[in-house]
A = this chain, B = another copy of it.
């Protein structure tokens, strides 16, 4: 039975899908309409108690949290497709470090910008300009640290593409597109080159259009 990823139209599930493409793993997608509240139905909550996407079913194995899914498939199929965890346990340590930086430092401000600028208008809610300003500033500070790091290595965890880079794709694609804050990337020479590199990978070019 082919594994199923729920919610392919949204950014966090795309983090998983782009990883599956890199790992050459077959999958099916199951649409979930967040605007209709399908992620809050009793059937869905039985499988994903936090009521968010993605949800993954692989036979009778169920996972939630997108970064757990990408770690699982990258480890299970280590030698298939692109190696996304580094070659040594020390390299994996650095992948884990920057993957946690993405989740803990980068994600909260970019997610807030996504909500305020992309989703609130769709839901007929006002955008909070103070929150936008604060989170834009927070994100800029994080990207200053990325700029310094990427002046010393080609990718975040070292000179190899990894989950740490991949994990940034979906929300940064929003940032340079519908959020209209591309300057945050383009004003930083090394971040800009890194973004061009990772976003032009065939895997992302395929998944971003879903």
Contacts and interface: CB of A to CB of B under 8 A. Distances in A.
Interface of A: 49-50, 61, 63-65, 67-69, 71-72, 75-76, 89-90, 92-94, 96-97, 99-101, 103-105, 108, 145, 148-149
B64 A97 contact: yes
Contact of A104 (B61, B97, B103, B145): B103
A90 B103 contact: no
A89 B68 CA distance: 11
Given A90-B61, A104-B65, A72 B49 contact: no
Given A63-B93, A65-B100, 5 more contacts: A50-B105, A65-B101, A72-B89, A75-B89, A76-B89
Q: How many copies does the complex hold?
A: 2
B75 A92 contact: yes
A138 to B, nearest CB: 12
A100 B100 CA distance: 9
A10 to B, nearest CB: 16
B96 A67 contact: yes
Contacts of A100: 65, 67-68, 103
A148 B46 CA distance: 11
B97 A68 contact: yes
Task: Give the residue among A64, A89, A97 with the most B Cβ atoms within 10 A.
Answer: A97
A99 B61 contact: no
11 contacts: A49-B148, A65-B96, A65-B100, A67-B96, A68-B96, A71-B92, A71-B96, A72-B89, A72-B92, A103-B103, A108-B108
A2 B149 CA distance: 26
A96 to B, nearest CB: 4
